[in-house]
Structure 1
Amino acid sequence: MMKMWMKPLGSVLIAGTLLVGGAALPASFGMGQAQAAEVSMVNVINVVGKGEIKVTPDVAYLYIGVESNAATAAAAQKKTAATMNKLSTLLKTDWKIAAKDIQTEQFYVSPNYTYTDKEGQKFKDYSATHSVKVTYRDLDKIGQLLDAASEAGANRIQNISFASENPDKYEEQAIAKAMASANTKAAAIAKAANRSLGAVITISQDDAQAPIAYAQYDRAMATASESNAGTSIEPGEITVTTRLTVQYEMK
């Protein structure tokens, strides 16, 4: 979806519409008016301005799961359920994470096979996997939480994503930067053409990109294992980005 602002500028606005949409002139539009519209079409500049804001994330999404193997599907599912119950108690009781912040991400049971040239495909066992998405806001303790989850039996800790829960509050700053960028570009184009920059005719905004960054937990675990220390996770910074397409008069 795009946001659009317009300034009514008579024939110049008509020219902008023709330039973008290619609409036909009405039959009653006279030759003189058509020539004026063609001139107006030439006297516009279209540029794209980009604005970026660096933001410190305030929330992390942790993807934690359990996978168990057994000879039957029911047995594999039972083993996974037992470990997941233990993990759920850990998250809710020991780490005070609300139930609404623990959401099932995946649950499936599937057969496993081996393959050899001599015997071909042969059934091995069943895997039962259950993973949850955990929303966590105390970013300084993420490493400790993941270590505790691993000790509780979680063996599918896949990745972490960092984000801002309220990116809209940064959008105004990103828009201001994007508009400044568009003004600078348009002014340079007008100057290069030995012309001057006029008023803004139209502005359209692409939706701001949701800020998000990822961290791979398996690398963090490897580092922690080598140093015999707890896992250390650094959220770093994320970027809020928006783009404006701006059309100007050129005098």
Structure 2
Amino acid sequence: MASVRTWVKSVGAVLLAGSLMIGGMGLSGGLKGPERAYADEVQKNIVNVVGKGELSIKPDIAYLSIGVTTTADTAQEAQKGTAAKISKLTALFKTTWGIADKDIQSSQFYVQPNYTYSEKDGQKVKGYNAQHTLEVSYRDLTKVGQLLDAASAAGANNIGNVRFAIEDPSAFEAQAIEKAMQNADVKAAAIAKAAKRGLGMVVTVVQSDDGNNPVVFAQAEAMQKSAMDGNGGSSVEPGQVKITTQLNVTYELK
């Protein structure tokens, strides 16, 4: 009897080992098989396109860089001279042009020495420059040139580029997205037709915008020009700015 029990146990162990081996092979085959089938299915039954949406909008705000640079023998004198002119400019913006405090911000300030060099004396400090720059937000775009002329007359001698923008671009984001989706639909339909397939439902949509940004508000593509008009004043044309977005869209192919 003992030998019979031993034989039964041995057979059971062999059967169990065989079962595990077969099960393991089946499990391995089960993992690899669907994975390859899924990859083939993805390649055959979907199409991915990039849809782009763009709006050209008239800007409603201008950001003006207006500054003063003063040169003096000492740093303190240079700084005082700049401060006096900036104070005069700030008062002009607020009283004459009705610009609010929140729309006038200091964007740059520095005091630095001027150096001269000669073989005899080497490098020496000859006076100091002090610069103070304001960023002014202004919404009456028809008077930007006049404002710049007034600032120059009041002592501003460092006027940078005018940047036109849309103060609240969120109102136009949905329109840009709709245009991007329409563009994606056209591209995907053309690809499906060329492949003699039908276009199915949308599988995924990802908004990317070159760097994973949300809807991109492009810098003003404005015709920013400082020219002299018939009255001898500066003429600044706002032109238009662009709002763009980009969608990566995946569709089923039938």
> Which of 80, 96, 101 is matched with 2:82 structurally?
80
> Secondary structure of the residue that 2:204 maps to in structure 1?
strand
- Distance of 1:214 and 1:231 partners within structure 2: 19
Q: CA RMSD in A?
A: 2.2
- Structure 1 stretches of at least 4 aligned residues deviating more than 6 Å after TM superposition: 214-217
Of 205-214 and 60-69, more deviation after overlay is shown by 205-214
- What amino acid is the match of 1:241? T
- What amino acid is the match of 1:191? K
Tell me what 1:14 maps to.
none
Tell me what 1:41 maps to.
42
Give the deviation of 1:212 after TM superposition.
Answer: 2.5
> Secondary structure of the residue that 1:78 maps to in structure 2?
helix
Determine if the alignment matches structure 1 residue 185 to structure 2 residue 187.
yes
Give the deviation of 1:130 after TM superposition.
Answer: 0.4
Distance 1:79-1:27 versus aligned 2 partners, 3 A rule = farther
Distance 1:211-1:117 versus aligned 2 partners, 3 A rule = same
> Secondary structure of the residue that 2:217 maps to in structure 1?
coil
- Distance of 2:178 and 2:246 partners within structure 1: 10
Q: After superposition, where does 1:199-238 map in structure 2 within 5 Å? A: 199-206=201-208, 207-213=214-220, 220=226, 223-224=227-228, 229-238=232-241
Distance 1:195-1:76 versus aligned 2 partners, 3 A rule = same
Distance 1:60-1:120 versus aligned 2 partners, 3 A rule = same
Gaps of 5+ in 1: 1-25
Normalised by the length of structure 2, the TM-score is: 0.81
- Distance of 1:167 and 1:212 partners within structure 2: 12
Of 91-100 and 228-237, more deviation after overlay is shown by 228-237
> Which of 49, 52, 56 is matched with 2:54 structurally?
52
Determine if the alignment matches structure 1 residue 164 to structure 2 residue 163.
no
Distance 1:184-1:112 versus aligned 2 partners, 3 A rule = same
Distance 1:195-1:123 versus aligned 2 partners, 3 A rule = same
Determine if the alignment matches structure 1 residue 109 to structure 2 residue 111.
yes
Tell me what 2:24 maps to.
none
- Distance of 2:116 and 2:223 partners within structure 1: 29
Whether the 8 Å CA contact 2:89–2:154 is kept in 1: the answer is yes
Normalised by the length of structure 1, the TM-score is: 0.82
- What amino acid is the match of 1:202? T
Give the deviation of 1:213 after TM superposition.
Answer: 1.3
Whether the 8 Å CA contact 2:203–2:250 is kept in 1: the answer is yes
Distance 1:38-1:71 versus aligned 2 partners, 3 A rule = same
Of 80-89 and 190-199, more deviation after overlay is shown by 190-199
- Distance of 2:236 and 2:30 partners within structure 1: 66
Residues 149-176 of structure 1, C-alpha deviation per residue, up to 9 Å, x if partnerless?
Answer: 0000000101110000111111111111
Give the deviation of 1:211 after TM superposition.
Answer: 3.3
- Distance of 1:28 and 1:102 partners within structure 2: 70
Whether the 8 Å CA contact 1:111–1:123 is kept in 2: the answer is yes
- Distance of 1:133 and 1:199 partners within structure 2: 49
> Secondary structure of the residue that 1:245 maps to in structure 2?
strand
Give the deviation of 1:39 after TM superposition.
Answer: 3.0
Distance 1:238-1:29 versus aligned 2 partners, 3 A rule = farther
Give the deviation of 1:40 after TM superposition.
Answer: 2.0
- What amino acid is the match of 1:90? L
Whether the 8 Å CA contact 2:221–2:240 is kept in 1: the answer is no
- What amino acid is the match of 2:38? A
Residues 19-68 of structure 1, C-alpha deviation per residue, up to 9 Å, x if partnerless?
Answer: xxxxxxx9695555334413321111111000001100000000000000
- What amino acid is the match of 1:248? Y
Gaps of 5+ in 2: 1-26, 209-213
Percent identity (aligned) = 53
Of 183-192 and 148-157, more deviation after overlay is shown by 183-192
